[in-house]
Amino acid sequence: MKFFVDTGDIAEIKDLASTGLLDGVTTNPTLIAQSGKNFLKLIAEICEVVQGPVSAEVAATDYATMLKEGQKLAKIAKNVAVKVPLTPDGLKVCKALSDNGTQVNVTLCFSAAQALLAAKAGATFISPFVGRLDDVGQDGMLLIKEIMDIYTAYPKTIKTEVLVASIRHPIHLIAAAKMGAHVATIPPKVIRQLYAHPLTDKGLAAFVSDWQKTGQTILDAA
Ligand code: E4P
């Protein structure tokens, strides 16, 4: 499973990229606003840090302007994935850009029918928002299961990857991984939670303490 980080914070991206475990980045207009940075310059900077896909979202909602914005964003770097909303115009832009070899991430997906349309429009990624569905009392993970079932039923024709978005906690991620979802985009805080377990901390403290009792050092040993 590929791990993307869902943030516009370049310091976080650099830190997580240094782990060697980061496969890509997603941003959205909210995250860009939170960063306080110039959008195009920030995307260019992120694309230098991370080799994998970096999602940059269009701002317009009509076909003609979204297409021009998408073409401009795609020129920033080879690894830009243009993010478009799951609307009729957004999917037209998806088809036009993907036909020209541009990676496209279709965002704001909340139903299996929408995911099927995005696949037909040639999306590189479909982004179903699990946390936001949970927030309104629907089972976000059930949507991932439905989309995975549909996509895997057409292995020869559907190449779109399921990019699980709006992840709120590690349980979302584990459930998505069990279903074979291709990618998860994860907030930095949740990525850090993945490492944590109290028994790891407790066990390590005991090992450090017991090792000190030996009076030895590995690096100085002959
Ligand atoms: C994905 O591309 C979105 O940026 C993101 O996952 C949305 O998450 P949120 O529901 O926590 O805002």
Cα separation, 92 vs 88, in Å, equals 6
Question: Which residue in 57, 107, 61, 62 sits closest to 80, CA to CA?
Answer: 57
Alpha-carbon separation of residue 74 from 59, 79, 111 (angstroms): 14, 8, 27
Residue 215 lies in a domain: no
Query: How many domains does the chain divide into?
Result: 1
In terms of Cα–Cα distance, which of 138, 137, 163, 154 is closest to 52?
163
Structure tokens at 167: 């992840």
Residue 166, ligand 1, Cβ within 6 A: yes
Asked whether residue 205 is domain-assigned, the answer is no
Question: For residue 213, is it within any domain?
Answer: no
pLDDT tens digits along 21-67:
999 999 999 999 999 999 999 999 999 999 999 999 999 999 999 99
pTM of this structure: 0.96
- CATH at 186: 3.20.20.70
Residues of the chain with pLDDT under 70: none
Q: 58 lies in a domain?
A: yes
Asked whether 169 lines ligand 1 (CB < 6 A), one says no
- Ligand 1 atom 8, closest CA: 166
